[in-house]
Amino acid sequence: MFMDPPTHTNGTINGDAVVESFDPLVFRKYLLSLLPPVIGADPADLDTLFVDEFDERVGRFATEAGGVIYVVKIKNEADGEFLVFC
Protein backbone atom coordinates (compact mmCIF):
# COMPACT_ATOMS: atom_id res chain seq x y z
CA MET A 1 0.00 0.00 0.00
CA PHE A 2 1.39 3.37 -1.02
CA MET A 3 0.72 6.54 0.90
CA ASP A 4 0.72 10.00 -0.59
CA PRO A 5 3.69 12.06 0.57
CA PRO A 6 2.80 14.81 3.03
CA THR A 7 1.84 18.10 1.44
CA HIS A 8 3.63 20.94 3.19
CA THR A 9 2.57 24.51 2.63
CA ASN A 10 3.03 27.65 4.65
CA GLY A 11 1.73 26.72 8.09
CA THR A 12 -0.05 23.51 7.12
CA ILE A 13 0.61 19.81 6.76
CA ASN A 14 -1.92 17.98 4.59
CA GLY A 15 -4.28 20.94 4.98
CA ASP A 16 -4.23 20.82 8.79
CA ALA A 17 -2.98 23.99 10.48
CA VAL A 18 0.21 23.58 12.45
CA VAL A 19 0.81 25.92 15.34
CA GLU A 20 4.44 26.30 16.22
CA SER A 21 6.03 28.67 18.66
CA PHE A 22 7.18 31.93 17.18
CA ASP A 23 9.47 34.36 18.97
CA PRO A 24 8.93 37.94 17.75
CA LEU A 25 12.22 39.01 19.38
CA VAL A 26 14.17 36.58 17.17
CA PHE A 27 12.34 37.93 14.11
CA ARG A 28 13.05 41.52 15.17
CA LYS A 29 16.78 40.73 15.49
CA TYR A 30 16.69 39.01 12.11
CA LEU A 31 15.15 42.08 10.45
CA LEU A 32 17.66 44.39 12.14
CA SER A 33 20.53 42.33 10.75
CA LEU A 34 18.98 41.68 7.31
CA LEU A 35 17.55 45.02 6.23
CA PRO A 36 20.57 47.34 6.49
CA PRO A 37 22.73 45.44 4.00
CA VAL A 38 19.86 44.31 1.76
CA ILE A 39 18.06 47.63 1.28
CA GLY A 40 20.70 50.04 2.58
CA ALA A 41 18.58 51.04 5.55
CA ASP A 42 20.04 52.99 8.43
CA PRO A 43 19.38 50.92 11.59
CA ALA A 44 18.01 54.04 13.31
CA ASP A 45 15.38 54.35 10.56
CA LEU A 46 14.15 50.82 11.27
CA ASP A 47 12.78 51.82 14.68
CA THR A 48 9.55 52.88 12.97
CA LEU A 49 8.92 49.23 12.05
CA PHE A 50 8.75 48.16 15.66
CA VAL A 51 5.57 49.84 16.88
CA ASP A 52 3.77 48.70 20.03
CA GLU A 53 1.70 46.14 18.09
CA PHE A 54 4.72 44.61 16.28
CA ASP A 55 5.00 41.47 18.44
CA GLU A 56 1.28 40.76 18.23
CA ARG A 57 1.08 41.39 14.49
CA VAL A 58 4.08 39.29 13.46
CA GLY A 59 3.06 36.53 15.86
CA ARG A 60 -0.39 36.41 14.29
CA PHE A 61 1.08 36.56 10.76
CA ALA A 62 3.56 33.76 11.51
CA THR A 63 0.92 31.37 12.77
CA GLU A 64 -1.66 32.02 10.05
CA ALA A 65 -1.89 29.55 7.22
CA GLY A 66 -1.78 31.48 4.01
CA GLY A 67 -0.02 32.32 0.82
CA VAL A 68 3.46 33.58 0.23
CA ILE A 69 4.25 37.28 0.04
CA TYR A 70 6.70 38.54 -2.54
CA VAL A 71 8.14 42.03 -2.46
CA VAL A 72 9.75 43.46 -5.56
CA LYS A 73 11.76 46.68 -5.57
CA ILE A 74 12.26 48.29 -8.98
CA LYS A 75 14.30 51.39 -9.73
CA ASN A 76 12.75 53.84 -12.16
CA GLU A 77 15.74 54.82 -14.30
CA ALA A 78 14.07 58.05 -15.46
CA ASP A 79 13.94 59.72 -12.05
CA GLY A 80 15.97 57.38 -9.84
CA GLU A 81 12.99 56.63 -7.59
CA PHE A 82 12.29 53.13 -6.30
CA LEU A 83 8.92 51.43 -6.63
CA VAL A 84 7.94 48.62 -4.28
CA PHE A 85 5.29 46.07 -5.25
CA CYS A 86 3.81 43.44 -2.95
What confidence tens digit (pLDDT) does each residue in 63-84 have? 877 766 777 777 777 777 776 6
Model pTM? 0.52
**Where in the chain does DSSP place strands (E)?**
8-9, 12-13, 16-17, 72-75, 82-85
**Domain edges within the chain:** 8-85
Mean pLDDT by 10 residues, the chain (86 residues): 54 55 87 90 84 86 74 74 67
